[in-house]
Amino acid sequence: METLKDKKMKKSADTRMKISGAEAIIHCLLAEGVDLIYGYPGGAIMPVYDELYKFQDQLTHVLTRHEQGAAHAAQGYARATGKVGVAMATSGPGATNLVTGLADAQIDSTPMVCITGQVPRHLLGSDAFQETDIIGISTPVTKWNYQVTKASEIPEIMAKAFYIAKSGRPGPVLVDITKNAQFDELEFEYKPCTQVRSYQPYPKPDMADLQEAAALINTAKKPYIVYGQGVILGKAEEELKALVEKSGIPAAWTILGLSAMETDHPLNVGMVGMHGNYGPNVLTNECDLLVAIGMRFDDRVTGDLDTYAKQAKIIHFEIDPAEINKNVKVDVAVLGNAKESLKLLLPLIKENKHEAWHSEFKKKQEEEYEAVIKADLYPQKPGLTMGEVIGSINKASGDNAVIVSDVGQHQMIACRYARFTQTKSNITSGGLGTMGFALPAAIGAKMGAEDREVVAIIGDGGYQMNIQELATIFQNKTAVKIVVLNNEHLGMVRQWQELFFEKRYASTVMTNPDFVKIAEGYHLKARRVEERSELDEAVKEMMNSKEPYFLEVRVEKEDNVFPMIPSGASVSDIRLK
Amino acid sequence: MEKKWFTISVYSENNVGLLNRISGIFLKRHINIESLNVSKSEIEGVSKFTVVVFTTEDWTRKIVMQIEKQIEVIKAFYHTDEETIYQESALFKIGSHLLFDERQIQNIIKDSHAQIVTVSREFFVLAKTGKREEIEEMYRLLKPYGIMQFVRSGRITVTKAEMKISSLLAAMEK
Ligand SMILES: Cc1ncc(C[n+]2csc(CCOP(=O)(O)OP(=O)(O)O)c2C)c(N)n1
């Protein structure tokens, strides 16, 4: 009998081979350089799983314990590597379980391809078992989606899916494949997609716009750079640094721009946004020129738009034309990939230092240190703070870990205090604020960046939204470090209730299980810290572990995150307490 | 900002899911589609959506940018009424006896330049092509006599200025 391997050898010998749609999907993935995917099997995708079994030496499929976990793991992988993450699920509930991940990837511009099985073509529209209109459901949360109903469409559609997911402003693509298309045969030939006629992913930066931008930058007295994830997605880290250093302009990051430049860079002034730093927010309304690079003026960044940077001229470097003048009217828009635009801009920029202007940031930084940071990082009270845990992780990792944070107070604290020396190191759900993101995303990040320490920082609430992924970690021996900052509350919501709803703590108090026992139930090394005296040592033990490790830290139950711009308020009205 | 009538013209690849994507863009922003027409365009294989909205120019521009962002959309434009030549069509189904009993009906038909498409023993059908107001006026005039059925099409539009889709496509294919 012919072995599978013989069959495979024979097939790869001729370029145009007749294979099943399911096998074609595998060949497409391999042709796109995919060696790792996340997913969960079921009836409508079984032919593909059968092929995954045969190709397991070339393509690893990681079984998550929930399709949402698969989507977030693919996102974590994509965010850590810059490559396209791939997730797979069956029809119906499998497909709908991917939706949160798609929405998250859409709003955070993460390149991802999701493949779902679908009922056979002849049953479409008949309310067949596990039929759901995933194309209709996913349309608003995908960059592109397509339902394949014929095997012969597979190579072209898969090629197009990968091209669209990763080009221009990246995003998620969903390919829904009916079961008959998986079973039927096709003549397989794969051509990578290099263009789609109606799709122009890379607008060319216009020299006149660049000149206008340079003139504004060169003459501004108080210019201010705010950079976002566009720098990371556009691989423009070097160019950004060169611009900042040559121009001497103070630079702040958005939550997703964090780690594009090393945190300690002397010209980095901190984070903008609702829980960002004091100076970067307040001085937004005092600069005379705002240079926005690869960021989209999210409302969590701008606060009240009517009072946002009204005194300043604004330059927007952006790849997506639809972002220009969407939230904030700008004076100069430079369309294009950040790397290309900044490269062209750099020679037009005059050297400068802006020392007096920098000292205004310093002053504000000192105020914030006295009012907030000191007590967060070096608390005098007995209870542990989230800030000191992040400080301890910085120390133990040498500022060199990938930090994957979930959503809530711990996320804001992680993004405020984690220090980074490498790009693509801060992975968090920024735009959607998806609780449950971090644990699976950390799995993907670790698998994508195996040589790096990956530390997930999670609240006791969000942890329980995808806690089942501990099984994935155990089964795959994925050496992620999981830190749960347990305040026994849905902390961020409780903070709002304290500040804006007169302390009516509606459904934010949590009675939690024994997290250490649960981790041990999944055969993970686990430890709980309740005293400050144990913290550094426990964190070190965790970081030194070659295996996955779970650390629960019992922190203050009712601490708040400051500074804070109350929602709808102006960046000038940021509160220090 | 002042609300006005805008016509959004979208040139796109033929694609089944695109209508859903485009209508979602309006839905998300609570902008009512006043009229919608999908047809082929002057270019082989390229579809044209014509959408009429009543909103501010700022919103219209933002919507057009979001539409143009969709993968299958080649180009989207918006125009004011002054910048376009536009028409709608309507059909009126009316009882045949009125044609003989009501002299006034014949005058309405004549004055409005409507066409009689068909006449049967029970009913006749009038077709009227023109601006929205002209059709509304005709409706108003006929209403007292009894309209058995009425339907009006979406607006169709050509612009006074050139659209340059062919040259754009040629550039895109390079
Ligand atoms: C899926 C989801 N549901 C609800 C929310 C709203 N929400 C934002 S933060 C938060 C509390 C998070 O609590 P926890 O995970 O314990 O973290 P903490 O704020 O205490 O650090 C909630 C409920 C959300 N962001 N995501």
Active-site entry in A129, A189, A207, A520 = A129
- What residues contact residue A306 under an 8 Å CB cut-off, 6+ apart? none
- pLDDT-derived band at A13, boundaries 50, 70, 90: very low
- From A390, A492, A495, A556, the mutation candidate for ligand 1 (largest count of ligand atoms within 8 A of CB) is A492
Same fold, A4-188 and A382-555: yes
Q: In this predicted structure, what is the pLDDT of residue B167?
A: 86
- pLDDT-derived band at A15, boundaries 50, 70, 90: low
Active-site entry in A130, A211, A468, A475 = A130
**Token digits for A72?**
């977030």
- What residues contact residue A437 under an 8 Å CB cut-off, 6+ apart? A72, A75, A104, A406, A407, A428, A429, A462, A466
Please state which of the four CATH numbers 3.30.70.1150, 3.30.930.10, 2.70.98.40, 3.40.228.10 is assigned to the domain occupying B87-152: 3.30.70.1150
Q: Select from A271, A295, A291 the least CA-distant residue to A564.
A: A271
Q: In this predicted structure, what is the pLDDT of residue A169?
A: 98
Q: Which amino acid is at A389?
A: V
Query: Is the domain defined by B3-85+156-173 classed in CATH 3.30.160.620?
Result: no
Q: How far is A139 from chain B (nearest CA, A)?
A: 6
Query: Is the domain defined by A207-360 classed in CATH 3.40.50.1220?
Result: yes
Over 90: is that where the pLDDT of A279 sits?
A: yes
Element (H, E) at A554: strand A549-554
Q: How far is A325 from chain B (nearest CA, A)?
A: 8
Query: What is the Cα–Cα distance from A247 to A349, expressed in whole angstroms?
Result: 7
* All CATH 3.30.70.260 domain ranges in chain B, comma separated: 3-85+156-173
The SS3 of residue A451 is: coil
Residue linked to tokens 């057009």: B64
pLDDT in tens, B15-42: 778 999 999 999 999 999 999 999 999 9
- pLDDT-derived band at A4, boundaries 50, 70, 90: low
Query: What is the Cα–Cα distance from B127 to B118, expressed in whole angstroms?
Result: 9
- pLDDT-derived band at A17, boundaries 50, 70, 90: confident
Q: Is A143 a catalytic residue?
A: no
A408 in Cβ contact with A2 (< 8 Å): no
Tell me whether residues A198 and B62 touch, CB distance under 8 A: no
Please state which of the four CATH numbers 3.40.50.970, 3.90.1480.20, 3.40.50.2020, 3.30.70.100 is assigned to the domain occupying A382-555: 3.40.50.970
* Residue having the nearest C-alpha atom to atom 1 of ligand 1: A435
pLDDT in tens, A193-227: 999 999 999 999 999 999 999 999 999 999 999 99
Instruction: Determine the average pLDDT of the residues in A77-101.
Output: 98
**Token digits for A399?**
């500022």
Tell me whether residues A197 and B73 touch, CB distance under 8 A: no
| Alpha carbon A367 to chain centroid, angstroms | 31
| H-helix segments, A14-153 | 21-31, 46-54, 67-81, 93-96, 99-107, 134-138
In this complex, is the C-beta atom of B73 within 8 Å of any C-beta atom belonging to chain A? yes
Taking the CA atoms of residue B43, residue B45, residue B46 and residue B51 in that order, the dihedral angle to the nearest 10 degrees is 120
**How is A358-382 classified by DSSP, letter by letter?**
HHHHHHHHHHHIIIIIHHHHS--SS
pLDDT in tens, B65-82: 999 999 999 999 999 999
Element (H, E) at B7: strand B3-13
Tell me whether residues A196 and B71 touch, CB distance under 8 A: yes
In this complex, is the C-beta atom of B29 within 8 Å of any C-beta atom belonging to chain A? no
Q: Is A200 a catalytic residue?
A: no
Element (H, E) at A88: strand A85-89
- What residues contact residue B104 under an 8 Å CB cut-off, 6+ apart? B145
Range list of β-strands (E), B14-162 = 35-40, 46-56, 73-80, 84-95, 115-119, 123-130, 149-152, 156-159
Query: What is the Cα–Cα distance from A504 to A509, expressed in whole angstroms?
Result: 11
Over 70: is that where the pLDDT of B124 sits?
A: yes
Tell me whether residues B74 and A197 touch, CB distance under 8 A: yes
- Fold for A4-188, please state it: Rossmann fold (3.40.50)
Query: What is the Cα–Cα distance from A237 to A243, expressed in whole angstroms?
Result: 10
Percent of chain A with pLDDT over 70: 97
pLDDT in tens, A243-263: 999 999 999 999 999 999 999
Over 90: is that where the pLDDT of A294 sits?
A: yes
* Atom in ligand 1 nearest the alpha carbon of residue A487: 20
Q: Select from A257, A327, A332 the least CA-distant residue to A298.
A: A327
CB atoms within 10 A of CB A433: 16
Q: Is A361 a catalytic residue?
A: no
Domain range annotation of chain A = 4-188, 207-360, 382-555
Instruction: Determine the average pLDDT of the residues in A400-408.
Output: 98
Query: What is the Cα–Cα distance from A31 to A190, expressed in whole angstroms?
Result: 8
| H-helix segments, A225-309 | 229-233, 237-247, 278-282, 299-302
Q: Select from A410, A392, A409 the least CA-distant residue to A401.
A: A392
Query: What is the Cα–Cα distance from A231 to A414, expressed in whole angstroms?
Result: 21
Q: Report the separation in Å between the CA atom of A407 and the middle of ligand 1, taken as the mean of its atom positions.
A: 6
Q: Report the separation in Å between the CA atom of A490 and the middle of ligand 1, taken as the mean of its atom positions.
A: 6
Residue of B59, B71, B73 to mutate, interface with A, max A Cβ within 10 Å: B71
- Which ipTM was obtained for this model? 0.91
- pLDDT-derived band at A8, boundaries 50, 70, 90: low
- What residues contact residue B30 under an 8 Å CB cut-off, 6+ apart? none
- Closest residue in B to A327 (Cα–Cα): B62
Instruction: Determine the average pLDDT of the residues in A549-559.
Output: 98
Q: In this predicted structure, what is the pLDDT of residue A522?
A: 98
Minimum mean pLDDT range among A207-211, A335-339, B101-105: B101-105
Mean pLDDT computed over every residue of chain A: 96
Residues facing residue A252 across a β-bridge: A226, A270
